[in-house]
Amino acid sequence: MTTEAKLASEIYEVDGPFEANELFQRNGWTDGLPIVPPTEAGVRTFLEAARLAPGEIVGTEPVRRRRITAEKLAIAALMAGCLPEYMPVVVAILKSMCEPQYGLHGSTASTGGSAPFIIVNGPVRTALAMNATHNVFANGSRANATIGRSVRLFLLNVLGGTPGHLDRSTLGHPGKFTFCIAEDEQDSPWLPLHVERGLAAGGSAVTVMAAESPHQVMNEWTHDPREILDTYVAAIRANMLTYSIWEGNYAIVIPKQHRQIFAAARWSKRDVRQYIFETAHVLRKEWRNVGKASVAGRKDEDRLYRALRTPDDLLVVAAGGPAGGFGAVVPPWYGKKSLAVTMPV
């Protein structure tokens, strides 16, 4: 590995950072927000941080066989405002998204408008000062914001995911700017997500899921874990009826106030997954109640559809601020056509 190999990207001479940003804006090489100009020196610094040569292939998009080099990924991370030490996390995210089960091409091109929902686990969270608590889905951490944004910029510039062209999203959602959080492992009674998904407890990892926008829920009138979860299940059922009935990965993000209720009742993440598997389902005939009578009135109208294929389809994530009886359901893009992938950093 040598980061001193010649860079393959075209070089543009501009009169300062402002003109560099205007060049990128005019050419559609950004998401509409300002960028950090990706100078040769900066790109090399990012490559060195990840110990990658410029031409090293870090992933291949499975459908079009588009190969993604470390150089292109470093450019996206630098443009997004990352620090060099974020680069190994960005590389792990890209590798996750190139796994066939993730469905990178379909989830990028679909009219459904999904975004990569990224959960970071392990020591790297604290090393990079990632946010796992207050305002976890929004602003507050450079690492959260820029790591997630780097994904959007390489989708735009390497895979051609431009809105109206390859990206055919009807609406999209704000997560298409950035959709990256850390899990609140220090203040959680549960196993971290990556450990539950088979990785070592002492390591760092990312989990990536093609997802729709989070649906916030609230229940602060009970200490019964079943009743708390019934509120989350109601949001899952609503998604099944109004968006997609197909089973696959869902994620639920549980802040501290609700986690304390589960801890007091000695409920593990496994217990949460099992309860939601058993209760998150709809009957086909229920589509009549949401304006879909034309597809409800068939012979199999009493057919039961589950949100999850198995309890393990549910990603249970400890994150969010310490106060308030809130939580969130993050629905999948399109059921089992795209499945979450967990990858070590």
pLDDT of residue 300: 85
Tokens of 221: 């009138």
pLDDT of residue 299: 75
Q: Sign of torsion, CA 61 63 66 67?
A: positive
pLDDT of residue 264: 97
Residues of the chain with pLDDT under 70: 1-3, 298
CA distance 200 to 165: 41
- Largest Cα–Cα distance of the chain, in whole Å? 68
Provide the whole-model pTM.
Answer: 0.96
3-state SS, the chain, equals CCCCCCCCCCCCCCCCHHHHHHHHHHCCCCCCCCCCCCCHHHHHHHHHHHCCCCCCEEEEECCCCEEEEHHHHHHHHHHHCCCHHHHHHHHHHHHHHCCHHHCHHHHHHCCCCCEEEEEEECCHHHHCCCCCCCCCCCCCCHHHHHHHHHHHHHHHHCCCCCECCCECCCCCCHHHCCCEEECCCCCCCCCCHHHHCCCCCCCCEEEEEEECCCEEEECCCCCCHHHHHHHHHHHHHHHHHHCCCCCCCEEEEECHHHHHHHHHCCCCHHHHHHHHHHHCEEEHHHHHHHCCHHHHCCCCCCCEEECCCCHHHEEEEECCCCCCCEEEEECECCHHHCCCEEEEC
Tokens of 103: 């469905």
pLDDT of residue 166: 93
pLDDT of residue 132: 98
* Strand-pair category, 326-330 with 215-218: antiparallel
Domain boundaries, the chain: 1-111+138-178
pLDDT of residue 4: 73
pLDDT of residue 3: 61
Residue 297 has a CB neighbour count (10 Å cut-off) of 12
Residue among 89, 93, 270, 249 nearest 191 (CA): 270
Report whether 208 contacts 117 (CB < 8 A). yes
pLDDT of residue 1: 56
pLDDT digits (tens, 9 = 90+) for 43-102: 999 999 999 999 999 999 999 999 999 999 999 999 999 999 999 999 999 999 999 999
Tokens of 36: 């950090």
pLDDT of residue 2: 60
